[in-house]
Copies of this chain bind each other. A is one copy, B any other.
């Protein structure tokens, strides 16, 4: 099914994607003045809905943007999109823009936001081979400084993904000017050393990943210790394990970064355990 034949949500209406359009004066298009969320759809269930809504509300609030819909309605939108398009596994995408106006950096507080959402199908996580581990490609982190706001200013990530793809890697690993490993182009990144999970601190310098947040709780319930601090690429290369988390991929073990093999080159024991726990938890939710 071509994506333009799917049914999408736009400002209250469920319409064919080919008819879903916004003005060229929309500030999402002119200034990337927009926030978004991506949520997993797993076996018909919307993963971590409340946490994604909390983050959406925070992103909107940081940008002085009103939330066009009450929280409960977003759940109805996602459920109807899955049902209308007959999709059981994949991801939901939701975007809110500040709205349309004559081009001016300054915005009016009275603007009407635009909101749209769609669902894209993907193989169920269990049917992908990501549990076998993936390779990554390290690149400089070119992004702006407010990475904690989930905005559509994503060209740095697009360029990193292109470089990773050209290098035959699953995702890019971003390293900032101070040599700190921040995260992947579209996922959170963890290392494990001596049975301790290490993750960057939750600051403005990283996206506050929802699956990351859930996985830290899962680790805690499994009596695994997690430490939040910055680490360098050298520390990654000597880690016992490394793994990614993301809403449409859950937990993915990382076995190599460019020419550097992580641990014994096999998916990490802790990464696989967290992945199983997360999938079991989602299946039972």
What residues make up the interface of A, taking CB atoms closer than 8 Å to B? 3-4, 8, 10, 17-18, 20-26, 28-34, 36, 63-64, 93, 95, 97, 101-103, 105-107, 116, 118, 120, 140, 142-146, 151-159, 161-162, 165, 185-186
Contact = CB atoms under 8 A, between A and B. Distances in A.
A151 to B, nearest CB: 5
Nearest to A172: B105
A79 to B, nearest CB: 20
This chain: copies in complex: 2
A70 B8 CA distance: 35
14 contacts: A17-B24, A24-B116, A24-B118, A30-B36, A30-B154, A31-B152, A32-B155, A63-B159, A93-B103, A102-B120, A105-B157, A105-B185, A105-B186, A142-B146
Contact of A158 (B23, B33, B120, B158): B33
The SS class assigned to the A binding surface is: mixed
Contacts of A64: 162
A260 to B, nearest CB: 23
A10 B23 CA distance: 11
Contacts of A33: 154-155, 158
A140 B159 CA distance: 24
